[in-house]
């Protein structure tokens, strides 16, 4: 049984079903019809992550009134990343960038004396990275390994860099900041029965033609191979037998009916919030601290990639608001001896003007009208400022801290009777120093372009990368899972997804999620063969 149908769950289910194994998938959210979602998005007055999707599929850390809803925040900083509850999970509204982790990211403590090492090396995962790129449909430059050695080429050529990217790159010629085409799970040519990207510029929150990969690609492949998917079905508790093995999965459907399933193996793939939530809610006599939690690490070590966001106005038009939202990144500060002192970062050029930072172009119109502009003068001013907007962001590495954690809020319960989530989150000094380094890098980039009206967001944004809450490791005293993502405590439990990451590096997590899920599928298949 696979619980969750995002990229980790869908890939695992597909691979096992293709081997002829009996697979059941539980998904809390509904199926989403792409055409209906896109129409809803076009008609929405406010176009945000949730606007294309049915109500209750996109839980948010705050509602429109600024009040806390799904998460109860108890830390000094709010945790600003959320997720989508639907068949296909958060890949419906993800960006689509899929860089690999660097080899050094797997041995952070050994190399730099802080953070955590992974229980496996880059070299051990490298073949699975190639497999994951083939499964997701990766577009990239096979001649540029970006510091992560490759044994196989990308399936497709890279998505072209935008005109804006090219203007930035030209201004930085000879500097340390070299921008190159970022690998993407987005078709640059027709591939896997899906069309090439046509530049709709709505990758977040929805690709209207599925040129961008989403996990419904693999839920469909799993179902075609015989897997049975139950949408709007929530696992609420995992029950153990006398030997400490999961004997049944208690579940509840959206219509209020409930039942118990009795799988041989359970694969939790419900993201870095919902997975520890279910495990903690499964506390019982043989697991008083929660399922598979003898290490007391379930829910701990919550990480994101805090984002430093900066903006400026170019001296001449750079024509943003076209194509995929990110087409180029800079690796200059992803690794180096500085990591002993401050966090690494991955720099991105945004193709969405100042939409994220300042809600452009709507904010521009409001500002110019307030200045008294009307008619042709207003039209010309909107054209001028919109054509010259630049937005640069950096995703900053965050250390795994045990106090940053997901716990249960016993005072609030959802419609299934499961306690809601409480989050304690803080940004440590190491990460704060990385955010400061990012601001300095952004200023360098803007200065090289002779840009004006430079601004920096004083508050770190959320990247949507929920990592670390059920981590893998070599020691069952300090980790929940072994290198195959099998629980140390409960041997018929596997966990897939970014919850398993011991550290976060700077890369968008999805490709590593996929590679680890494919690797785990081999261990799951081998264990099932022993049970038969």
Instruction: Name the helix (H) or strand (E) containing 134.
Output: helix 122-136
Rg (CA), the chain: 23
| 3 state SS of 274 | helix
CA distance 41 to 44: 5
With bands split at pLDDT 50, 70 and 90, how would you rate the model's confidence at 60? low
Q: Taking 50 as the threshold, does the pLDDT of residue 63 lie above it? A: no
* Residues 195 and 207: beta-carbon distance below 8 Å: no
Give the pLDDT score at 61. Answer: 52
CA distance 527 to 532: 9
413: left (phi over 0), alpha (psi -120 to 50) or beta: beta
Select from 432, 454, 458 the least CA-distant residue to 443: 454
| 3 state SS of 226 | coil
**Strand-pair partners of 184:** 97, 139
* Residues 60 and 70: beta-carbon distance below 8 Å: yes
CA distance 301 to 179: 32
With bands split at pLDDT 50, 70 and 90, how would you rate the model's confidence at 49? confident
Residue 506, both tokens = 């700077």
With bands split at pLDDT 50, 70 and 90, how would you rate the model's confidence at 150? very high
Instruction: Specify the CATH number for 2-531; select among 3.40.50.150, 3.50.50.60, 3.40.50.300, 3.40.30.10.
Output: 3.50.50.60
Give the pLDDT score at 65. Answer: 43
Give the pLDDT score at 55. Answer: 80
Select from 335, 359, 354 the least CA-distant residue to 345: 335
Residue with token string 């590679």? 515
CA distance 511 to 521: 15
As a whole-number percent, the residues of the chain with pLDDT over 70 amount to 98
Each residue's pLDDT tens digit, 340-378:
999 999 999 999 999 999 988 889 999 999 999 999 999
CA distance 438 to 39: 38
Q: Taking 90 as the threshold, does the pLDDT of residue 322 lie above it? A: no
Number of C-beta neighbours around residue 409 at 10 A: 15
Select from 531, 526, 390, 518 the least CA-distant residue to 450: 390
CA distance 160 to 17: 36
CA distance 194 to 350: 25
CA distance 86 to 478: 32
Each residue's pLDDT tens digit, 423-478:
999 999 999 999 999 999 999 999 999 999 999 999 999 999 999 999 999 999 99
What does the angle CA 505 – CA 507 – CA 513 come to, to the nearest 5 degrees? Answer: 95
CA distance 118 to 107: 6
* Residues 283 and 289: beta-carbon distance below 8 Å: yes
Question: What's this model's pTM, rounded to 2 decimal places?
Answer: 0.97
* Residues 438 and 347: beta-carbon distance below 8 Å: yes
With bands split at pLDDT 50, 70 and 90, how would you rate the model's confidence at 64? very low
Which is higher by pLDDT, 531 or 404? 404
Active site residues: 465
Give residue limits of the domains in the chain: 2-531
User: β-pairing, 266-268 with 2-3?
Assistant: parallel
Residue with token string 């998005």? 41
Weakest-pLDDT range from 66-70, 189-193, 256-260: 66-70
Helix, strand, coil percentages, rounded to 5, for the chain: 30, 20, 50
Each residue's pLDDT tens digit, 464-518:
999 999 999 999 999 999 999 999 999 999 999 999 999 999 999 999 999 999 9
* Residues 485 and 269: beta-carbon distance below 8 Å: no
Q: Is 240 exposed, middle or buried (0-12, 13-18, 19+ CB in 10 A)?
A: buried
Spell out where 389-459 has E strands: 389-396, 405-413, 419-424, 452-456
């Amino acid at each position: 049984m696979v619980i969750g149908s995002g990229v980790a769950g869908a890939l695992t289910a597909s691979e096992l079903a293709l081997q002829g194994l009996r697979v059941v998938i539980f998904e809390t959210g509904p199926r989403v019809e792409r055409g209906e979602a896109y129409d809803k998005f076009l008609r929405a007055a406010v176009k945000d992550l949730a606007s294309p999707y049915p109500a209750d599929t996109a839980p948010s850390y705050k509602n429109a009134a600024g009040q806390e809803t799904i998460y109860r925040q108890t830390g000094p900083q709010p945790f600003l990343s959320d997720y989508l509850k639907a068949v296909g999970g958060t890949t419906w509204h993800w960006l689509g960038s899929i860089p690999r982790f660097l080899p050094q990211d797997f041995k952070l403590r050994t190399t730099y004396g802080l953070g955590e090492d992974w229980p496996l090396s880059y070299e051990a995962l490298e073949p699975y990275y190639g497999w994951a790129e083939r499964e997701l449909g990766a577009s990239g430059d096979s001649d540029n390994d970006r510091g992560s050695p490759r044994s196989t080429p990308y399936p497709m050529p890279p998505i072209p860099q935008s005109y804006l990217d090219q203007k930035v790159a030209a201004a930085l010629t000879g500097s340390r900041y070299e921008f190159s085409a970022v690998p993407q799970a987005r078709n640059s040519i027709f591939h896997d029965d899906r069309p090439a990207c046509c530049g709709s510029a709505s990758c977040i929150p929805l690709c209207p033609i599925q040129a961008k990969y989403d996990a419904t690609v693999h839920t469909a492949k799993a179902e075609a191979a015989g897997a049975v998917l139950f949408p709007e079905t929530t696992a609420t508790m995992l029950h153990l037998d006398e030997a400490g093995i999961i004997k049944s999965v208690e579940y509840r459907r959206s219509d209020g009916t409930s039942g118990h399933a009795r799988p041989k193996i359970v694969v939790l793939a419900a993201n870095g919030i919902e997975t520890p939530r279910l495990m903690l809610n499964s506390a019982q006599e043989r697991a008083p601290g929660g399922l598979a939690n003898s290490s007391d690490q379930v829910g701990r070590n919550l990480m994101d990639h805090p984002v430093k966001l900066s903006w400026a106005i170019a001296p001449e038009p750079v024509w943003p608001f076209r194509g995929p939202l990110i087409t180029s990144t800079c690796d200059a500060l992803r690794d180096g001896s500085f990591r002993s002192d401050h966090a690494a970062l991955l720099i991105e050029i945004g193709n969405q003007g100042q939409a994220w930072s300042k809600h452009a172009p709507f904010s521009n119109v409001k500002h110019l009208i307030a200045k008294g502009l009307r008619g042709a003068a207003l039209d010309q001013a909107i054209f001028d400022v919109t054509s010259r907007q630049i937005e640069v962001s950096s995703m900053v590495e965050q250390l795994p801290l045990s106090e940053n954690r997901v716990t249960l809020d016993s005072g609030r319960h959802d419609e299934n009777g499961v306690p809601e989530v409480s989050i304690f989150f803080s940004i440590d000094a190491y990460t704060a120093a990385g955010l400061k380094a990012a601001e300095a890098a952004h200023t360098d980039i803007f200065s090289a372009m002779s840009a004006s009206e430079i601004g920096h967001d004083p508050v770190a944004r959320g990247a949507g990368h929920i990592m670390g809450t059920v981590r893998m490791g070599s020691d069952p005293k300090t980790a929940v899972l072994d290198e195959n993502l099998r629980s140390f405590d409960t041997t018929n439990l596997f966990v897939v997804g970014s919850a398993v990451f011991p550290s976060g590096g700077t890369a968008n997590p999805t490709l590593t999620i996929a590679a680890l899920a494919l690797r785990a599928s081999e261990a799951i298949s081998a264990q099932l063969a022993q049970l038969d």
